[in-house]
Structure 1
Amino acid sequence: MSDPIDKLLDAAESGKSIIKNRKILHFTYIPDIILHRTSEQEQVTQSLLPILKQSRPSNLLVYGKPGTGKTLVVKKVTSKIQERVEKSNFPIKLVYSNSKEETTLYGLLVSLGRQLDLNEKELPTTGLAISEVFKRLLNKIEQEKLNAIFVIDEIDYLAQLVSKTGKDILYQLTRANERLSQGSLTLVGISNDLTFKEKLDPRVISSLGEEEIVFPNYDVDQIKKILQERIDEAFVENSVEEPALNLCAALAGGEHGDARRAIDLIRVAGEIAERQQSDKVTIEHIREASLKIEENKEEASLKSYPLHEKLVILAIMKAIGSSTGEIYSSYKNLCKIVGRDELTQRRITQMLSEIELSGIITGRLVHQGIHGRTKKYKLTISSEMVKNTFKNDLTLQDIV
């Protein structure tokens, strides 16, 4: 019987692999042609065109469910603009940051500042008031007469990073040009939440939503064509069976037309096939990949939540009861422990509904006689999974 380690190492050394270009199966890869998004590419380009004519574009809000190509299109359009800008003397700066990937509002603003070439001395990673960080960003834009476009992905999380300050920063970003005598700032917000604007301060709504573009879901046929294009580039010829491709498209299209999930699914299936030393990706590999992704989904979902949503999940675990009021009381105590300003009870109630949609928690209405009705929540996953997922988060270590 051959040694399993030697078997895998021999295969790696011999170069036997059905995936020839893995980067094409990563969600950050931008293909030369983005299928089924011609209209959306045109709309985003038209919205940002004024920058090439040396004038400020309107603020832009891009909506759509996950995996509908929003970030892909915005990144492609901005990179094409950047290529043309480099040939001119008009000082344009395009910067990108993802609110969900930053654990603090301060970190998000520093990320934007670094892309404006503000160094550690000009913009330290800690120690300044949020208002001072923002002031330094605007000073840099004004001093260098920059025409900046800030692309903020998953912008709905920006308002959640810090309750009042987060909303205030959103307002300041949309009104930044009133404070600039030279240069300009345009905000491009990308949101997975179609109801995002409904939760905004009325002052922000008019200035942020100057232009809006909604990305529709992909259907199964469209996902199949997207997958086929990626397979042709990423896999060795004829190494993905047709029924496997069909199942992959059906599984991703059946949810809500999530092309990113489809690409993840074919990548994981390809990796499973390679480990099994198979020459082809079969239906069985797709099914195995789907189960593997589902197992990791809850943990990944927990990790991806911004701080206050993590605190709400922990509050449900630690609350004396399970009503909204009891959870909010527990949440406030946790905010004190980690030294964060608490959000309002109304916002936490909204947050509970949003987390419930992910399936991490479940809620039920309970009638309390003369006291009316209340909603009670409980975790649908084990407390151990929550603890294991959050234990490496430095902010939450004292709680967990």
Structure 2
Amino acid sequence: MSDPIDDLLDAAESGKSIIKNRDILHYSYIPDIILHRKSEQEQVTQSLLPILKKSRPSNLLVYGKPGTGKTLVVKKVLSKIQERVEKSNFPIKLIYSNSKEETTLYGLLVSLGRQLGLNEKELPSNGLAISVVFKRLLTKIDEDKLNAIFVIDEIDYLAQLVAKTGKDILYQLTRANERLTQGSLTLVGISNDLTFKERLDPRVISSLGEEEIVFTNYNVEQIKKILEERIHESFIPNSIEEPALNLIAALAGGEHGDARRAIDLLRVAGELAERQQSDKVTIEHVREASQKMEENKEEKSLKSFPLHEKLILIAIMKANGSSTGEIYSSYKNLCKAVGKDELTQRRITQMLSEIELSGIISGRLIHQGIHGRTKKYKLTISSEMIKKTFKDDLSLQDIV
């Protein structure tokens, strides 16, 4: 009986690979030419140009849906500026952080501080008040006479952290120059949410969005051109069937104009074709890759939920289409079953609204005449997906 591991390794060694450079299919890859974004590149460059003239640029907000090239363009412009300022004696510090990757305000500020050059002793990883951490960042900028540009990607998540903690670091960032005597601080915010400013303190809005640039969605034809460019660099010739390429462009362009999703879909389809030792990526590989990516996205999202949100989802699963009150009653029983203290009904109602924003559940208001109105929720994903994802969680095994 042959060893399945050896069989796979033998096939990989002897079979031919159709992907010649996987790095080009990674979301962090910055191509030499960014297609269909000439105007946006010009606008971002013009906004940050004052730094080359030894002046502070205006704060900049860059909007657009996921996969529209926002981060790509900003990073490319910053790298070009960095190349030029390294030849001058004007102290510039370009700093990038993604607020979605930091779960706390403290962690985000420490990430910015480390890039400014503050070590663990100067800025501990925990234990200080937020105001003290921020003061140390400004002191560093002041003492080194730095002209800092803080690029905060997915800044809408920072706005959420601010709302949860009440520590309005966005206000502090936009007012930082009033506290600096030497050096300056410019904020570049990148957001997937066109409406996130509506949730901000009015004092922040005017100073944060001194300049704004909106990135529109790519259309199907533009996504196809972007894919063709990546295929040329990353795959061996003639390894992607034309119908497969058209389907990837149609799936990504037709739904949301997301070039990053299109490139991810191309990569996963290519990897499936390789595993099956196929000479070409076909429509079947693309369909299989699309289904796999959708399942992975849902699973990853569910696993990231805190325990009480998982309990709420199980409560909804057990009585799909239930009202808030019925869900809360079921949730309380589940808390007893796993030995956890229950949260208040008011907090659970808030959490239901938060989960609804993720798209995993949907709610609708039901009018009950003289009894007022209630909201009923149901899952938008299958019960099997929830069971499959939560069965590895030891605290939930007995209730799913």
* TM-score tier (shorter): 0.7 to 0.9
What's the counterpart of residue 85 of structure 1? Answer: 85
1:202 aligns with 2:202: yes
Q: What SS does the corresponding residue of 1:161 show, helix, strand or coil?
A: helix
The amino acid across from 1:236 in the alignment is I
1:323 aligns with 2:314: no
CA contact (8 A) 1:316 1:322 kept: no
Give runs of aligned pairs for residues 365-384 of structure 1, distance below 5 A: 365-370=365-370, 372-381=372-381, 382=383, 383-384=386-387
What's the counterpart of residue 19 of structure 2? Answer: 19
Q: What SS does the corresponding residue of 2:300 show, helix, strand or coil?
A: helix
Q: Aligned equivalents of 1:66 and 1:303: distance in 2?
A: 22
Q: Aligned equivalents of 1:117 and 1:270: distance in 2?
A: 41
Task: Give the structure-2-normalised TM-score.
Answer: 0.85
What is the Cα deviation at residue 324 of structure 1? 9.0
Change (3 A) 1:129 1:142: same
Please tell me whether Structure 1 or Structure 2 has the larger radius of gyration of its CA atoms: 2
CA contact (8 A) 1:362 1:378 kept: yes
Q: What SS does the corresponding residue of 2:216 show, helix, strand or coil?
A: coil
What's the counterpart of residue 133 of structure 1? Answer: 133
1:364-398, Cα deviation, whole Å (9 max, x unpaired): 11224345333333444445456468889xxx9xx
- Tell me whether 147-156 or 356-365 shows the greater mean CA deviation: 356-365
Q: What SS does the corresponding residue of 1:271 show, helix, strand or coil?
A: helix
The amino acid across from 1:147 in the alignment is N
State how many pairs are aligned: 379
Q: What SS does the corresponding residue of 2:156 show, helix, strand or coil?
A: helix
Q: Aligned equivalents of 1:125 and 1:322: distance in 2?
A: 43
Q: What SS does the corresponding residue of 1:88 show, helix, strand or coil?
A: coil
What's the counterpart of residue 237 of structure 1? Answer: 237
1:94-131, Cα deviation, whole Å (9 max, x unpaired): 11111111111111111111111110001111111111
What's the counterpart of residue 69 of structure 1? Answer: 69
Change (3 A) 1:311 1:77: farther
CA contact (8 A) 1:324 1:376 kept: no
1:213 aligns with 2:213: yes
1:56 aligns with 2:40: no
Q: What SS does the corresponding residue of 2:55 show, helix, strand or coil?
A: coil
Change (3 A) 1:386 1:7: closer
CA contact (8 A) 1:317 1:379 kept: no
Q: Aligned equivalents of 1:257 and 1:375: distance in 2?
A: 33
| Consecutive unaligned residues in structure 2, runs of 5 or more | none
Q: Aligned equivalents of 1:369 and 1:295: distance in 2?
A: 40
1:217-252, Cα deviation, whole Å (9 max, x unpaired): 000000000000000000011111111101110111
Change (3 A) 1:167 1:373: farther
What is the Cα deviation at residue 204 of structure 1? 0.7
Change (3 A) 1:86 1:196: same
1:291 aligns with 2:291: yes
1:190 aligns with 2:190: yes
Q: Aligned equivalents of 1:55 and 1:79: distance in 2?
A: 18
The amino acid across from 1:31 in the alignment is P
Give runs of aligned pairs for residues 79-228 of structure 1, distance below 5 A: 79-163=79-163, 165=165, 168-228=168-228
Q: Aligned equivalents of 2:31 and 2:356: distance in 1?
A: 35
Identity %, equivalent residues: 80
The amino acid across from 1:280 in the alignment is K
Change (3 A) 1:235 1:32: same
What is the Cα deviation at residue 317 of structure 1? 5.0
What is the Cα deviation at residue 354 of structure 1? 6.4
Q: Aligned equivalents of 1:180 and 1:15: distance in 2?
A: 61
Q: Aligned equivalents of 1:77 and 1:258: distance in 2?
A: 21
What is the Cα deviation at residue 199 of structure 1? 1.0
Q: What SS does the corresponding residue of 2:152 show, helix, strand or coil?
A: strand
The amino acid across from 2:247 in the alignment is L
CA contact (8 A) 1:223 1:262 kept: yes
Q: Aligned equivalents of 2:62 and 2:311: distance in 1?
A: 32
What's the counterpart of residue 269 of structure 2? Answer: 269
| Consecutive unaligned residues in structure 1, runs of 5 or more | none
Q: Aligned equivalents of 1:53 and 1:151: distance in 2?
A: 20
Q: CA RMSD in A?
A: 3.2
CA contact (8 A) 1:40 1:215 kept: yes
Q: What SS does the corresponding residue of 1:295 show, helix, strand or coil?
A: helix
Q: What SS does the corresponding residue of 1:213 show, helix, strand or coil?
A: strand
Task: Give the structure-1-normalised TM-score.
Answer: 0.85
Change (3 A) 1:178 1:385: farther
What is the Cα deviation at residue 136 of structure 1? 0.7
1:300-356, Cα deviation, whole Å (9 max, x unpaired): 334567x7xx865655656998539987xx99xx9xxx9xxx9x98xx85x855643
Q: Aligned equivalents of 1:185 and 1:302: distance in 2?
A: 38
CA contact (8 A) 2:365 2:376 kept: yes
CA contact (8 A) 1:361 1:377 kept: yes
Change (3 A) 1:167 1:213: farther
Q: What SS does the corresponding residue of 1:119 show, helix, strand or coil?
A: coil
